[in-house]
Chains A and B, each alone.
Chain A
Amino acid sequence: MKRKVSHVTAADTQEAAGPPAPPVPRDPKGTDGRPGPEKETAGDLGKRRRKKGELLPFLLILPAILAIAAVYAFPLSKTVIMSFQDMGRRELWTGESPPWVGFEQFTNILGDSEFWYVTGRTVLFMAVCVVLTMAIGLLVAMMMTRLSTWVRLTLTAALIAAWSMPLMVAASIFRWLSDSDYGLLNTLIAKVVGDDFLGHNWFLDPWQGFAIITLLVVWGAIPFVVITLYAALTQVPRELEEAAALDGANVRGIFRFVTWPVIRPVFVMVTTLSVIWDFNVFGQIWLLRGNKPEPEYETLGLYSFSKAFESTSFSQGTAIALITVLLLSGVAVYYLRQLMKTGEVE
């Protein structure tokens, strides 16, 4: 996160200036009669750009728009449409258009107590993962600012190694570590509590199973969080911390009044992202349960998936997915507003 010092371009300044103040060209050739000699440089560029490249930007984004429409917008609208129909196996294979059923899928789902269990489980699981990830991540990131260089580099290397593990591979490792017969976890615990523990199946009890899944999710998420928060922490001016210390602030005071205000936007952003990611956790559970998660292991994503592909009631699946999207949209909007506040969406 290098601060853009030398890189500030004219376009940047103009963007930073915010809402499109009518650009005023400096050279008389382009003036359209409006006076106002301020902000010439930025305005100059903006004007020329708009004139010459009227069509060009749209041509440039056209392929991206088409592609995104095909793979995001179209399926999403289809998700909405299918949720109000009743599409099953027969309609899928014959290509017949499925009958419209109105809100029936939704009333069925919302009236099903299992849905509420699954939702509760998803929210609880997400909350535990996010709290653990952010707490450990923040502590480790703060610790990193106090490490000797070689320890910090070692830790960074370890984080990158963990980060680079493909999800599939990471899940295989954790499945192997928690294997009931030959897993290292059981071997180590048996050394402490006795050999009775060998052969312990972690996934018989969903609470224990989710403990392993949480470990995997948190382990996988920590590198990104630590590296991002550490980058934010390096932006905290050293002089300020030292000044606060000289003025008699204790460690907590320094954190609260000097460090926290600087890293807060980044922290909020990463937390929001974690909420969204952990709410959508799919692969970790799916893979640790060997592609067939038991009903006790279903979160909203898996619930929707199993309704669609195992019960082949595709419309139920899409209706659940749609409810998930609606639940998440609040978080997403909050995230977007944060981004706009920091000026990233300019």
Chain B
Amino acid sequence: MSTSTSTAPAPVPPPPPAVAGQKLRPDRKKSRGLYDVLGLLFAVVMAFPVYWLVISSLRPNHEIRSYDQTLWPSSLTFDNFARAVEQPNFGTAVQSSLIVSVTAVVGGMIIATLAALAIGRFRFFGRRALLMVLILVQMLPPTAMLIPIYAQLNAIGGLDEYWGLIIVYLVSTLPFAIIMIRGFVVNIPVELEESAMVDGCTRMGAFRRVIFPLLAPGLAAASIFALVNAWNEYLFAYILINDNSKYTLNVWLMTFTTERGTDYGALMASSTLIALPVVVFFMIIQKKMATGLTSGAVKG
């Protein structure tokens, strides 16, 4: 990949492309139109479930319970949202989700930043091994962790408590957060830090005045990503919390399915409410996340 940078300046400008261009252009235009149609079709396929989520949440209930589903509802209503919000424990579920995910992310980010600085800025014994462990633990099947964690929390009285869940979420954000933040740390030139220290900053001062401001966007991206993960988690929440009043939103979502069937209108409305903050966050960090993920998993 580095070779392409050296070939780039090689001066072979206008003449050849003109020849090739004339030959290729009509052909390319026609096929581009075809590709565009295919691309739009695929976009529709990918977006359709999301469209169906939103439109079902706004559909009047008698149309939901109908054998003839139409692609566009006859009228729009917020009834489903009203039913969703009035479902018992909605308020406490929002509260639980917020408490658990925000605490876990704040704690996780502090620990992850420290570790990422160490990995990105120092060479020390066990550094590579640590990175490998971080990558490997993300591949463990959730049940391999779930059963012993359940047994252990049960033994020390951590079931049905926020702190049990918070610890689990906090640690599960660490591996990717460390790798992601390290990617940002490595991209900050060491010279900046050093010149600050030459100018009389302590190491801490250099971090606070120079590194941290540069790192902030990366930290924001990593914490949003962690927040989304914690917000979306449901398996541990489902197993570790049995108290209805401490359910997180994802577990609460299951209460719409009873023996008498599922209230799909309200389920879609609450799903929309849960997904909304995630979508907004995703839009904000979309660019960064792609690079962060790939620089963690795949080298560009």
Interface residues of A (CB under 8 A from B): 1-5, 7, 9-12, 20, 45-46, 49-50, 53, 56-58, 60-61, 63-65, 67-68, 70-72, 74-76, 78-79, 82, 87, 92-93, 95, 140, 143-144, 146-148, 151-152, 154-155, 157-170, 172-177, 179, 181-184, 187-188, 198, 219, 222-224, 227-228, 231-232, 235, 237, 239, 242, 245-246, 262, 265-266, 269-270, 273, 276, 279-280, 282-283, 286, 290-291, 300-301, 304-305, 308-309, 314, 317-318, 320-322, 324-325, 328, 331-332, 335-336, 339, 342-346
Contact = CB atoms under 8 A, between A and B. Distances in A.
Given A75-B148, A273-B297, A305-B143, A67 B122 contact: no
B121 A173 contact: no
Contacts of A148: 32, 36
A321 B151 contact: no
B234 A301 contact: no
Contact of A78 (B132, B152, B190, B234): B152
A269 B297 contact: yes
B105 interface: no
Contacts of A144: 39
A53 B207 CA distance: 14
A141 to B, nearest CB: 11
Interface string B161-198: 00000011011101100100000001111110000000
Given A60-B114, A182-B66, A45 B190 contact: yes
Contacts of B18: none
29 contacts: A9-B190, A9-B191, A57-B122, A57-B124, A60-B117, A61-B115, A61-B130, A75-B148, A75-B149, A79-B148, A87-B151, A92-B154, A143-B42, A147-B39, A148-B36, A160-B282, A161-B279, A164-B275, A166-B250, A172-B53, A172-B253, A172-B271, A222-B46, A239-B12, A273-B297, A291-B238, A305-B143, A324-B144, A345-B132
A146 B282 contact: no
B24 to A, nearest CB: 8
A167 B151 contact: no
A290 B257 contact: yes
A279 B17 CA distance: 47
Contact of B290 (A166, A168, A231, A345): A231
B147 to A, nearest CB: 5
A342 B298 CA distance: 8
Nearest to A145: B35
Interface stretch (B79-87, B88-96, B133-141): B133-141
Contacts of A291: 238, 254
A65 B175 CA distance: 10
Contacts of A56: 118, 122, 203
Contacts of B46: 155, 158-159, 161-162, 219, 222-223
Contact of B118 (A61, A154, A179, A219): A61
A176 B250 contact: no
A9 B184 CA distance: 12
Contacts of A237: 4, 7
Interface of B: 1, 4-5, 7, 12, 16-17, 20, 24, 31-32, 35-36, 38-40, 42-44, 46-47, 49-50, 52-53, 56, 64-69, 110-112, 114-115, 117-124, 127-128, 130-137, 139-149, 151-152, 154-155, 167-168, 170-172, 174-175, 178, 186-191, 203, 228, 231-232, 234-235, 238-239, 250, 253-254, 257, 262, 264, 267-268, 271, 274-275, 278-279, 281-283, 286, 290-291, 293-295, 297-300
Given A60-B114, A169-B253, 19 more contacts: A5-B5, A7-B189, A11-B190, A50-B123, A58-B118, A64-B174, A67-B170, A166-B278, A170-B49, A182-B264, A219-B46, A228-B294, A239-B12, A262-B1, A318-B147, A318-B148, A322-B144, A328-B141, A331-B139
Given A61-B115, A75-B148, A182-B264, A68 B133 contact: yes
Which of the listed residues B39, B154, B171 has the most CB atoms from chain A within 10 Å of its own CB? B39
Contact of B115 (A64, A165, A305): A64
B108 to A, nearest CB: 8
A169 B52 CA distance: 12
A162 B135 CA distance: 26
B109 to A, nearest CB: 11
Contacts of B232: 166-168
Which of the listed residues B64, B147, B254 has the most CB atoms from chain A within 10 Å of its own CB? B147
Contacts of B170: 67
Contacts of B67: 181-182, 187, 198
Nearest to A187: B69
Contacts of A53: 122
A233 B234 CA distance: 35
A282 B233 CA distance: 12
Contacts of B35: 143, 146-147, 151
Which of the listed residues B1, B122, B171, B262 has the most CB atoms from chain A within 10 Å of its own CB? B122
A314 B147 contact: yes
